[in-house]
Chains A and B, each alone.
Chain A
Amino acid sequence: MLETLIWLIGYYLAGEFLARSLALPLPGSVLGMLLLFLTLCVRRGVPLTLREHVPPLMQHLSLLFIPSGVGAVLLSARLAEHAAALAVVLTVSTLATLLASAWLLRRLLAGHPLLADAPADEEGA
């Protein structure tokens, strides 16, 4: 667990350092993730500590959203006058993204074995 924290915080700060030194328009956390991803690709494997401790951490990811969720509710007076517009934007945008990607993928995968649905070969992946 200790080593996992060192890995994750270390890569996060490395990402933050790189983003700021190179003035990249990317959050440091995303850059840190890419750096870790590249490291895993180069090593051709996941270090034991990350393999063991990351999945249980990810299981409780939603804990981390509570403070900013609380903030959203307490600051929601600023949203009230736009509530109807926001509801339309969120509904339409979610539906548009769902349907556009599903239809496109179905077209692009036409005739591809992935869509032929042969459950037997699936979990070899």
Chain B
Amino acid sequence: MNLYEGWQYLKSAPLFGLLLTLLAYRIALAVNRRAGGKPLLHSVFVGVLLVVVFLLAAGVDYRTYMQGASVVYWLLSPATVAMAVPLYLNLARLKRAFAPLTATLLVGAVVGVVSAAGLGQLFGLPRELVLSLAPRSVTTPFAIGLAEQSGGVPEFATAFVLISGVFGAIVVKPLFDRLGLAHDWLLGFSTGLAAHGVGTARAFQLSERAGAIAGLAMGLNGVATAALLPVLLHWMGV
């Protein structure tokens, strides 16, 4: 019997990365649930941490891990397509104040891209980082697609989106309370525009209505940003 041999095979087996990702996610869900849904213990962060610790400890490189994990990664594109369903079902809300909401959506999308990419340029960051920052305020599957297309680094875009989302989710309630903006429509819509999925989950904790509004804004912002991004990047000379 040679356990070492078996282990060597196992950690480079194509499906190993897949199992590792699923397991890490499953544990992360349990941790997050026990912690009462805290944004900092978001299942992505815990899951990523578990996988990274394992890979480093076992001496497996990213490419080997990705052989199996890319199955999960590929599903991002069909998941983006699936967002058409909640968007369609939520559309009635948009019609209640079509002009103000659309105007806010467009301004929010522009501010999201220009503030991130513009500040990145101002600080003299490398082009690949500026392009990874640009889709910071859209939901991760959109941001990954947009970064891939524009020449950013999808991995970094993922990190920037998630960090923004967690930061937005943490500050939105105290900030909006202090500034007198704590209304479901204001809080929900701007959280969806600025802090996408993580923010939307936070809005759902505050109220069902704020959450649904945030989800609508998040979906619309994905489409608006995708359409505006090439124009804005060109205009900014990125």
User: Which positions in A face B, CB cutoff 8 Å?
Assistant: 5, 8-9, 11-12, 15-16, 25-30, 32-34, 36-37, 40-41, 46, 50-51, 54-55, 57-58, 60-76, 79, 82, 85-86, 88-106, 108-109, 112, 114-115, 117, 122-123, 125
The 4 A-B residue pairs whose C-beta atoms are closest, nearest first, are A27-B145, A71-B155, A108-B100, A97-B194
B33: Cβ under 8 A from any A Cβ = no
List chain A residues, Cβ under 8 A from B167. Answer: 90-91, 94
Instruction: Assess A69 versus B171: contact at CB under 8 Å? Given A30-B142, A89-B116.
Output: no
Instruction: Assess A102 versus B190: contact at CB under 8 Å? Given A8-B82, A27-B148, A65-B158.
Output: yes
State in angstroms the CA–CA spacing of A115 and B156 once bound together: 38
Q: How large is the interface on B (under 10, 10 to 19, 20 to 34, 35 or more residues)?
A: 35 or more
Instruction: Assess A92 versus B119: contact at CB under 8 Å? Given A33-B80, A64-B72, A98-B168.
Output: yes
Q: Are B62 and A74 in contact (CB under 8 A)?
A: yes
Q: Are B123 and A93 in contact (CB under 8 A)?
A: no
Q: Are A85 and B77 in contact (CB under 8 A)?
A: no
Instruction: Assess A101 versus B107: contact at CB under 8 Å? Given A58-B86, A61-B79, A70-B51.
Output: yes
Question: Looking at the complex, which one of A8, A60, A88, A105 makes contact with B100 (CB distance below 8 Å)?
Answer: A105
State in angstroms the CA–CA spacing of A26 and B44 once bound together: 26
Q: Are B185 and A105 in contact (CB under 8 A)?
A: yes
User: Which positions in B face A, CB cutoff 8 Å?
Assistant: 17, 21-22, 24-25, 42-45, 47-48, 51-52, 55, 62, 65-66, 69-70, 72-73, 75-89, 92-93, 96-97, 99-101, 103-104, 107-108, 111-112, 115-116, 119-120, 123, 125-126, 129, 133, 136-137, 140-142, 144-146, 148-149, 153-160, 162-164, 167-168, 171-172, 175-176, 179, 181, 183, 185-187, 189-191, 193-195, 197, 209, 222-223, 226-227, 230
Chain A residues touching B, majority SS:
helix
Q: Are B81 and A8 in contact (CB under 8 A)?
A: yes
Pick from A37, A63, A91, A125 the residue with the most CB of B within 10 Å: A63
Residue of B whose beta carbon sits closest to that of A106: B186
State in angstroms the CA–CA spacing of A96 and B88 once bound together: 28
- 10 residue pairs of the A-B complex, CB under 8 angstroms, read A12-B80, A66-B25, A67-B69, A70-B65, A82-B129, A97-B193, A100-B111, A101-B189, A105-B190, A108-B104
In the complex, how many residue pairs between chain A and chain B have their CB atoms under 8 Å apart? 296
List chain A residues, Cβ under 8 A from B209. Answer: 122-123
Known contacts A33-B80, A94-B168, A98-B193; 4 additional CB pairs below 8 A are: A11-B84, A72-B158, A94-B167, A98-B175
List chain B residues, Cβ under 8 A from A27. Answer: 80, 142, 145-146, 148-149, 226
List chain A residues, Cβ under 8 A from B123. Answer: 82, 85, 88-89
